[in-house]
Amino acid sequence: MNGLKVVVIGGGSSYTPEIIDGLITRAKKLPIDNLCLVDVEVGKEKLEIIGALAERMFKKAGLTTKVTLTLDRRSVLPGADFVITQFRVGCLEARMKDELFPLKYNVLGQETTGPGGFAKAMRTIPVILDICRDMEELCPAAWLINFTNPAGLITEAVHKYSKVKCIGLCNVPINMVMTVAKILEVDNKDIFIEFAGLNHLVWGKKVLHKGQDVTAVVLEKLADGAALSMKNVPDMKWDGDFLRAMGLVPCPYHRYYYMTDRLLEEEQEAAGPNGKGSRAVLVKEVERELFKLYLNPELNEKPKELEKRGGAYYSEAAISLISAIFNDEKTIHTVNIANNGAIQGLPNDSVVEINCVVGRNGAVPLNVGALPPFIAGLVQQVKAYEILAAEAGATGDRAKALLALVNNPLVPSVGVAKQLLEELLEINKEYLPQFFGPGSKAEVR
């Protein structure tokens, strides 16, 4: 069995120890010869800290995996089997702007949904497509596993505007499985959730425990106040009548669509003079503390504090997916992939988040038919937004950008959409070469 070469773009991320931990856990099934961590100049110091920690973790595990650090991705892409993307263009400073600028228009500010998510996607798409062009040239057989948010929209752009084999991945579904298991006080291996929808807009259509339908039990637990959320999403409790009427398990991000007024009020208060600031402020502090830990030469394992960053079960999701492809396991994973008729009412070539059988040929979605009418409209509207946003991000077409924002359910009117677009283009100008031409820059972090 030949050893694998895995390239991580955004290797200086605080999330990277999650990947290392996952590779160590599955070392017998995934023989990694070379782990290449890639970043850009602004992230060089963090890259070196992560690289040293990676070497200590592999050494503790008794593995001889070579760790390569570089600022030049083209130097390590040849021969790559898997490329993982987990970067943030513009660093946390850009995220802070994404979370704050919509608030003045009484629109939610969030890094993956609404106009903030749109701004992030516009910065990210030119970079991811550059990476794809390098992969097409230097490692055309490699798989791209995209974790970069907004994961569904970015994967949509890759599928539409490149030839790279790409699967998008998010840790929301696996978090939902783990959390439901805790709520029911059962082993997570005995829980199966039938997922269908879009990234950060996915529902659990049915929850099974050892083959028995326990969906109603889970909904009652949530109605009684059981927590089903993420570190980066406020844990506002669901209305019991609404949950029973819907009969589906919502993902944490549904709060942005179903509790918009309450979340907007909370965000505006946090951004005010007496507030704690946006989520990015907290994340910046968490990252600062994490890198202080990572610097410790005695640390040789993933620290528990990493869970505060919002990346819980990240390694489980990413590495189990890579293992399924490499070992042709034909196991079920919830991923972002082309619909191909699995969800009726959505274009076949659009990316959905759904359970798939995964093996050496990639992910094959499991057919779920038509979505219930009370969620189908929202899914179709968000998918229309994503299709238009992917085209705008790839081409720099401002008309498509405007139409994307108008179709986003969190944007209230054409007038507000125009104002949001004008401001987000201006504050992100240096990272938007597709809109502003050669003078721009789009660095990966």
Short-list 355, 335, 22, CA closest to 168: 335
By C-alpha distance, which of 79, 6, 10, 75 is closest to 38?
10
The pLDDT value given to residue 1: 44
- A 10 A CB-CB count for 232 gives 17
Beta strands in 155-287 (DSSP E): 165-168, 191-198, 201-209, 212-213, 249-250
Residue 309 confidence (pLDDT) = 66
Q: How many CA atoms lie within 13 A of 307 on its CB side?
A: 7
Q: What is the pLDDT of residues 17-32, one digit of tens each?
A: 999 999 999 999 999 9
HSE, side-chain direction, 13 A CA sphere, residue 413: 5
pLDDT at 310: 60
Residue that is written with structure tokens 């879009």 in the block:
198
Domain 4-168: which CATH class?
alpha beta
- Amino acid residing at 161: Y
**CA dist list (Å): 200 to 4, 169, 229, 271, 383:** 31, 11, 12, 24, 12
Among all residues, which ones are annotated catalytic? Answer: 253
> Can you tell me the distance from the alpha carbon of 331 to that of 321, in angstroms, rounded to the nearest whole number?
9
Angle at 101 between CA 97 and CA 105, to 5 degrees: 170
Q: Domain spans of the chain?
A: 4-168
* The predicted structure's pLDDT at residue 312: 65
Which pLDDT score is estimated for 280?
A: 85
CB 167 within 8 A of CB 156: no
pLDDT tens, residue by residue, 341-361: 999 999 999 999 999 999 999
pLDDT, one tens digit for every residue, the chain (445 residues): 468 999 999 999 998 999 999 999 999 999 999 999 999 999 999 999 999 999 999 999 999 999 999 999 999 999 999 999 999 999 999 999 999 999 999 999 999 999 999 999 999 999 999 999 999 999 999 999 999 999 999 999 999 999 999 999 999 999 999 999 999 999 999 999 999 999 999 999 999 999 999 999 999 999 887 777 656 677 788 999 999 999 999 999 999 999 999 999 999 998 888 777 778 888 888 899 999 999 999 999 988 888 766 666 878 899 999 999 999 999 999 999 999 999 999 999 999 999 999 999 999 999 999 999 999 999 999 999 999 999 999 999 999 999 999 999 999 999 999 999 999 999 999 999 999 977 555 544 3
